[in-house]
Amino acid sequence: MADQTAVDDTTDQTELRMRARRFLDTNARRKRARDDDDGEGLFDEVDAVGEQERIAEAKAFQGKLFDAHLAGITWPREHGGCGLGTAEAEVFNEEAAAFELPTGIFLIGHGMCGPTLLALGTEEQKHRYIPPMLRGDEIWCQLFSEPEAGSDVASLQTRAVRDGDEWVVDGQKVWTSGAHYSDFGMLIARTDPDVPKHQGLTMFIVDMRSPGIETRPLRQITGGANFNEVFFTDAHVPHANVVGTVNEGWRAAITMLMNERMAVAQGGGMGGANIRSVIRLARERNLDHDPLVRQQIADLWIRTTIMRYIGIRLREAVKAGRVPGPEGSIAKLAGAQLGKDLANVALAIAGPQGQAWSAGDPTGNRWATALLAAPAGAIAGGTDQIQRNIIGERVLGLPREPQTDRTVPFRDLLVGTQQAS
Ligand SMILES: Cc1cc2nc3c(=O)[nH]c(=O)nc-3n(C[C@H](O)[C@H](O)[C@H](O)COP(=O)(O)OP(=O)(O)OC[C@H]3O[C@@H](n4cnc5c(N)ncnc54)[C@H](O)[C@@H]3O)c2cc1C
Which three-class secondary structure string do you get for 100-115?
A: ECCCHHHHHHHHHHHH
**Which residues constitute the domain of residue 152?**
140-254
Residue nearest to atom 30 of ligand 1 (CA): 150
Is the distance from CB of 135 to CB of 60 less than 8 angstroms?
no
Q: pLDDT by residue (tens digit) across 41-75?
A: 444 555 666 889 999 999 999 999 999 999 999 99
Is the distance from CB of 80 to CB of 72 less than 8 angstroms?
yes
- Picking from 85, 102, 119, the residue at the C-terminal end of a domain is 102
212: CA distance to ligand 1 center in Å? 26
- The answer as to whether 421 is a domain residue is no
Same domain flag for 370 and 291: yes
Read off the pTM.
0.89
Same domain flag for 365 and 323: yes
Same domain flag for 249 and 278: no
Report percent pLDDT > 70 for the chain. 90
- The answer as to whether 196 is a domain residue is yes
Q: pLDDT by residue (tens digit) across 387-418?
A: 999 999 999 999 998 888 888 999 998 877 77
Same domain flag for 293 and 223: no
Domains in the chain, number: 3
Query: Ligand 1: residues within 6 Å at CB?
Result: 43, 141-142, 144-145, 150-151, 175-177, 227, 376, 379-380, 382-383, 385-386, 389, 401
Same domain flag for 274 and 378: yes
Strand partners of residue 237: 167
Q: pLDDT by residue (tens digit) across 273-302?
A: 789 889 999 999 999 999 999 999 999 999
Q: How far apart are CA 224 and CA 244, in angstroms?
A: 35
Q: Give me the CATH number covering residue 366.
A: 1.20.140.10
Q: Give me the CATH number covering residue 24.
A: 1.10.540
Q: Which of 237, 197, 112, 227 is nearest to 410 (CA)?
A: 197
Same domain flag for 233 and 300: no
- The answer as to whether 238 is a domain residue is yes
Report percent pLDDT > 90 for the chain. 66
Same domain flag for 70 and 16: yes
> Buried b / exposed e across 106-120, counting CB within 10 Å, b at 16+?
bbbbbbbbbbbbbeb
Same domain flag for 161 and 224: yes
Q: Which amino acid would we find at residue 245? A: T
